[in-house]
Amino acid sequence: MSSSQPLVKQVMRVKNPDHIVEEADHGGLKRSMGLFALLMFSVGSIIGTGIFVILGEAIPKAGPAVILSFVLAAIVCAFSALSYAELAGTIPVSGSSYSYAYATLGEILAWVCGWCLMLEYGVAVSAVAVGWGQYLNEFLAAFGIAIPPEFAQPPGEGGVVNIPAVFVVVACMFLLLRGASESATMNNIMVILKLGILLFFCVVAFTAFDGGNFQPFLPLGVAGIGAAAGQVFFSYIGFDAASTAGEEAKNPKRDLPIAIIGSLIIVTIMYLLVTVAVIGANGGQPSDYEGQSGEAILATIANNVTGSTWAGTLIALGAVISIFSVVLVTMYGQTRILFAMGRDGLLPKTFTKVNPRTQTPVNNTIIVTVIISILAAFIPLGQLAEATSIGTLFAFMIVNAGVISLRRSRPNMPRSFKTPLYPITPILGVVGCLYLIASLAWITWVVFFAWLALGMLIYFTYGIKRSRLARGEADDWTPDPEPPVVS
């Protein structure tokens, strides 16, 4: 980096997208994931505990019209999903929105995007892992087994240490260290199981279906649709998970766009089926959900319809599997983004160490596991978990803006998928994200700006001087392998 170069030019330097793609071809990660695995990665990331709990909270806001809320949320997500699909097919690398920002909008925005993703992924995994013990206890209760509360909750919520949360994180770490294909195979199994359990719920609920439950359809008016849409939007987050596997996909230019868009379609259909089943069996008016636990709404309905507890136990198992799958995929995504940031020199080189046998980034997987385990075991996250929302929405905005920037700077660059109705689609994606960001709670903004300030401190004291663009090393990177593992 030239000391005479203006600061603005230093922080706005852009990586050549062709060079980014070339790096991916000899980046040290193994291309082992086909279309089905990529599709299941995104589906597995989207369908977490959200659909198991969200309906008990969303239906009272909109009544039966919550069906339209899910459709509206899916449309808002689709704008960003289409932009992700275009950039993932054009720049198929591990860094997802971080790498897209580096190729389109400049280094400092790429750093902020990557830094936000670390907050989003780290807190999201911790928050989800914290809840795993609760659902595990619900499932084990059917067999007369219970994890003592002091070992199933963090301090401040009645416990001493959340052992189940640590267990699920460490178990996912071992899967990730075995290799991407092994992790993908396990995720495929878990996603198929949880989709099967949701379909089982639909079959059970439809046996008690009453069409009269959909009248009146709009008890709280059009405003109710919007209120519920803002809530259910976050149950769609995760469709971008496949984009973090760009360097481990066998045919990324073809498969990544299909996986991203396909996962959103599959999940929307599943959500609508479950929503119709819930309303048909339990009612669609706000009064029908008074006194009911939102966290166990599907299990409660299944038990009521069957007149026994076995159905609810199976639903609880679905939630346990869902959380495990989400932890696995989210940890995978975080390690790959850290790998990309380390490769670019914005983080220490230790994040790029690749095991020659498993072809996985070992160091950053272990580091991520340690940090997440500590958060999940000892910290009651509460409202802090909402900080994941702003990181997600910021990344979505970056990707939508990146599509516009790359179309202008490289109009003739080969694209395996093009966002339809350009530039309307990415512009609507940015507007939708801004609307949702503006509605977030003040604590979310406090956490975000505190995290951003820390990130800026690290960037201006470390990253700006050590990035490979600053040192003129953008085209000569190869990974340092880990020492061979003796088995």
Residue 135 in contact with residue 320, Cβ under 8 Å? Answer: yes
The 3-state DSSP class for residue 303 equals helix
**Residue 288 in this model has a pLDDT that exceeds 80:** no
Q: How far is CA 484 from the centre of its chain?
A: 32
Taking the C-alpha atoms of residue 321 and residue 49, their distance in angstroms, rounded to an integer, is 9
Q: What is the pLDDT of residues 183-208, one digit of tens each?
A: 888 889 999 998 999 999 999 999 99
* Rounded distance between C-alpha atoms, residue 177 and residue 354, angstroms: 10
Of 29-43, 64-78, 140-154, 171-185, least confident by mean pLDDT is 140-154
Q: What value does the mean pLDDT take over residues 404-430?
A: 92
Q: Kindly report the CA angle at 442 between 453 and 428, in degrees rounded to 5?
A: 85
Q: Evaluate the omega torsion of the peptide bond into residue 216 and state whether it is cis, within 30 degrees of 0.
A: yes
CA dihedral in degrees (216, 219, 224, 225; nearest 10)?
10
Buried b (16+ CB within 10 A) or exposed e, 417-438: bebeeeeebbbbbbebbeebbe
Domains of the chain: 7-466 (1.20.1740.10)
* Structure confidence at residue 473 (pLDDT): 61
The predicted-structure confidence for 250-279, as pLDDT tens digits, reads as follows: 898 999 999 999 999 999 999 999 999 999
Residue 294's pLDDT band (cuts 50, 70, 90): low
Q: What is the pTM of this model?
A: 0.86
Before 423, cis peptide (omega within 30)? Answer: yes
Please tell me the total number of residues recorded for the chain in this structure: 487
pLDDT for 178: 87
Percentage of the chain exceeding pLDDT 90: 27
Record the tokens describing residue 145, joined without a space: 């087994």
Give me 379's structure tokens.
Answer: 């910290």
Amino acid at 298: L
Give tens-digit pLDDT for 313-360.
888 888 888 888 888 988 888 888 898 899 889 999 888 888 888 888
Round the average pLDDT of the chain to a whole number and report it: 84
Say whether 104 sits in a helix, a strand or coil. Answer: helix
CB 98 within 8 A of CB 116: no
